[in-house]
Amino acid sequence: MPDEQFEIDILRYRPETENEPVMQTYTIPYVRDWSVLDALNHIKDNLDGTLSYRWSCKMAVCGSCGMMVNGEPKLSCNTFLRDYHPGKITVEPLAHFPIERDLIINMDSFMEKLEKIKPYLIPTEEKPLADGEHLQSPDELMKYKQYSMCINCLLCYSACPEFGLEPDFLGPAALSLALRYNLDSRDNGQDQRTRIANTDKGVWPCMFVGSCSEVCPKHVNPASAIQQTKITSTIEWYKNVLMPRGSEAGGND
């Protein structure tokens, strides 16, 4: 039985020798079990050792291997050649991020956004260790659990056209994480996070395209997180305008 072949086009970029990315075609054996990541590993091990890409767990939990497969943001470990065979695939680095080398993108801007939304519990008052743990019921956990499943794979940022057009937009993953903490019964930092979300680079660039939720491999539903945050932000704004709190200077923003 003749060995079947499979063609992969990969967008290469070598900053030390090139000014622009270049497409390069590889022909690999077609193995029904293989994921795109298996194909990349085969290329690196046997055909071209210079190919650079990120990967780690091989099981869609680490979020390292995000890339564009035929124009769609996917995890390469979770995308299978058999779904594109017969045919060929085009692999490119995650959209909307600067390319460092080959399939590796620069995600510094995302790391800054994560820090901005204060991704930690801000309790009402510091509880001394002697008082023991925070107790949380399964219902309270259910409220925010979905939004805690994010693996920071950045597929949602690649899918979001608003982020593509406005790179300062906080974006789906950062805003989902903000909601995860706002909905946590142990947290009391909603005001601080709402102030950050309720800006023209916060939730408001979002036009509810919804493609972030379409591509999310962990079903976090960031679109839902952002719409919920829009509603609470708006209610907070009206509360501040109609009933300005004495502790805040004047209530004027």
Partner 1 sequence: MTRKPYVREIPNTWWLKNNFYKAYMMREISSVFITIYSVVLLVGFFRLYQGPEAYQGWLEALQNPWSIAASVVMLLSTLYHSISWFKLAPQAMPLQFGKIRVIPGLVVGLHYLAFLAILAVVFFAISL
Residues that bind partner 1 (CB under 8 A): 13, 15-16, 20-21, 71-72, 95-96, 98-100, 106, 138-139, 142-143, 161, 164-165, 207-211, 213-214, 221, 223-224, 227-228, 230-231
| DSSP 8-state code for residue 9 | E
Joined tokens for residue 205: 């660039």
**Nearer Cβ to partner 1 (86/138):** 138
Tell me the closest approach of the beta carbon of residue 188 to partner 1, in angstroms: 20
Q: Of 34 and 213, which has the nearer Cβ to partner 1?
A: 213
**193 Cβ contact list (under 8 Å, min separation 6):** 117, 118, 178, 181, 182
Number of neighbours of residue 172 by Cβ within 10 angstroms? 29
Contact at 8 Å (CB) between 55 and 106? no
Q: How far is the CB of 226 from partner 1 (least distance, A)?
A: 9
Question: Least separation, in Å, of the C-beta of 252 and partner 1?
Answer: 29
Q: Which of residues 74 and 96 has its CB atom nearest to partner 1 in the complex? A: 96
Q: Based on CB atoms, which residue is closest to partner 1, 29 or 167? A: 167
In DSSP terms, 92 is beta-bridged to 68
Report the residue number, 63 or 73, with the smaller CB distance to partner 1.
73
Per DSSP (E only), the strands in 104-229 are: 104-105
Structure tokens at 198: 């309720």
Q: How many CB atoms lie within 10 A of CB 163?
A: 25
Whole-number minimum distance, CB 66 to partner 1, in Å?
A: 15
237: number of Cβ within 10 Å = 13
Q: Is residue 154 within 8 Å of residue 66, measured between CB atoms? A: yes
Min. distance of Cβ 212 from partner 1 in angstroms?
11
**Torsion, Cα of 231, 210, 65, 86 (10° steps):** 170
Q: Which is nearer to partner 1, 198 or 213 (CB)?
A: 213
